[in-house]
Amino acid sequence: MYVYINGQYAKKEEVVISPFDHGFLYGLGVFETFRIYNGHPFLLDDHLKRLNAGMKMLNIDAAFNRKEVIKIINELLAKNGYTHAYIRFNVSAGNGEIGLQTESYSEPNILMFSKPLPPLNGMTEKKAVILEIKRNTPEGGERLKSHHYLNNVLAKREIGSAPDMEGIFLTQDGFLSEGIVSNVFWYNDGILFTPAIETGILNGITRRFVIALAREAGLTVREGFYKQEEAENAEEMFLTNSIQEIVPVTRFFGTDYPGREGNIVKILYKYYEAHRETLWSRTQLGGPAND
């Protein structure tokens, strides 16, 4: 497998990063993961916008645009022979002296790697459980998609490696927040609910896109602070992330749901499927509510 690193393409066994990189020493780095559908990087503009914002917060002096990143992606896909793929685009602060640095990082380490994914054939389903470990608060004003992943790692160890299971975090105050690698939605009585950003969750790219899709479909969407019981009483429940898309939940804390047979997930997935080989941003759906 070929990997992109700092302007070069190398076999994964040849990639080297200094142990003095502050991404390694202090966790100063951000990343994005997204899917390639038949050669198209779905919602790339949204991912780059979040990546650039994260780098700014970490004082990493870099920014990326669609044109330059597409060039990297296309070359990487060609070298690996992939058409449908997983992409991880990682920016770590770069080398520095030992000790916490207040100056900006002007030479970050830029890494992109891919792995092949089969074309999707419908939705996969999962069961969801409440985690004992609570969601930690963001390190700054909002949660970044950063190298700080211990909370998620400990949560994954809690539930084990079963691929059909997702753990759901509660906040310290007992409100639903998000999954280990997903955002959470449920539908009840004509309204689609999801925890608010203020609960400390990652504002997922697919989360934002699904909210936009739901509004396009005429659904009312509410973001707020919700207790576990409110999701338990829902008609449908599902998870979202950029690799797994929309993942219907079949069971949550003793409650059974229709899973992929649910009417709402069917509607949203149909819209999602129709756009995933063409859209660069959710804003292309149109309408001020989706900005």
**Domain end residue (candidates: 73, 97, 116):** 116
Local confidence band at 286 (pLDDT 50, 70, 90 cut-offs):
low
Are 133 and 242 found together in one domain?
A: yes
Q: How many domains does the chain have?
A: 2
Residue 76: what residue type?
L
For the chain, first and last CA: distance in Å?
Answer: 37
Q: In whole angstroms, how far apart are CA 22 and each of 19, 29, 30, 111?
A: 8, 8, 12, 15
Local confidence band at 230 (pLDDT 50, 70, 90 cut-offs):
very high
Q: What is the CATH number of the domain that holds 69?
A: 3.30.470.10
Q: Determine the structural domain holding residue 262 and report its residue range.
A: 126-286
- Measured CA to CA, the distance from residue 59 to residue 260 in angstroms comes to 43
Are 253 and 175 found together in one domain?
A: yes
Query: Can you give the pTM of this predicted structure?
Result: 0.95
**Domain end residue (candidates: 54, 85, 116):** 116
Least Cα distance to 93 among 85, 102, 83 occurs for 102
Instruction: Give bridge partners of residue 241 from the DSSP assignment.
Output: 245
**Domain end residue (candidates: 81, 116, 151):** 116
Are 142 and 92 found together in one domain?
A: no
Are 171 and 273 found together in one domain?
A: yes
Mean pLDDT, the chain, as a whole number? 95
Q: What is the CATH number of the domain that holds 250?
A: 3.20.10.10
